């Protein structure tokens, strides 16, 4: 287990071990860190979009939906305190972690999105 603390205003993406994770901020200010790999075929979920009507992240490849409740339930353990995020990543504690700032297209603020024809729901 790797414990990582960072400023979410500077970083919103972590690559650690063989995995990567992205940070979403919801309108109420709460945050979720989620593995950046779609359960369907592994596309990077941070390149998906947010469907405000369905309150769900939609994978850009085949439109699998990840409702907010699923993101919150399946996200990595996260503590937000005093302007800093601490996450517990399921990778070896000695794994190298690289923090980055990316354009998280799936960020709820990046709505509106036309996802008509969307299919599939992950973890429902
Ligand atoms: S890879 Fe995400 S829906 Fe297919």
pLDDT at 117: 40
119 Cβ inside 6 Å of ligand 1 = no
Q: Ligand 1, from 35, 36, 38: best to mutate by most atoms within 8 Å of Cβ?
A: 38
Per the model's pLDDT, the better-predicted residue between 73 and 110 turns out to be 73
Q: Which stretch of DSSP H or E encloses residue 58?
A: strand 56-58
Cα(122) to ligand 1 centroid in Å equals 10
> What's the topology of domain 2-110?
Rieske Iron-sulfur Protein (2.102.10)
pLDDT at 124: 45
pLDDT at 123: 54
38 Cβ inside 6 Å of ligand 1 = yes
114 pLDDT tier (thresholds 50, 70, 90): very low
Instruction: Report how far apart, in Å, the C-alpha atoms of 31 and of each of 114, 115, 117 are.
Output: 24, 23, 28
The torsion angles phi and psi of 48, rounded to 5 degrees, stand at -75, -160
pLDDT surpassing 60 at residue 120: no
């Amino acid at each position: 287990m790797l414990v990582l603390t960072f400023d979410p205003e500077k970083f919103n993406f972590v690559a650690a071990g063989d995995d990567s994770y992205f940070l979403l901020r919801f309108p109420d200010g709460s945050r979720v860190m989620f593995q950046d790999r779609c359960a369907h075929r592994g596309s990077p979920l941070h390149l998906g979009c947010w469907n405000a009507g369905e309150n769900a992240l939609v994978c850009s490849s085949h439109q699998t939906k990840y409702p907010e409740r699923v993101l919150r339930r399946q996200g990595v353990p996260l503590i937000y305190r005093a302007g800093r995020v601490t996450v517990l990543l399921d990778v070896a504690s000695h794994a190298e972690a690289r923090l980055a700032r990316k354009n998280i297209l799936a960020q709820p603020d990046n709505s509106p999105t036309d996802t008509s024809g969307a299919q599939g729901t992950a973890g429902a």
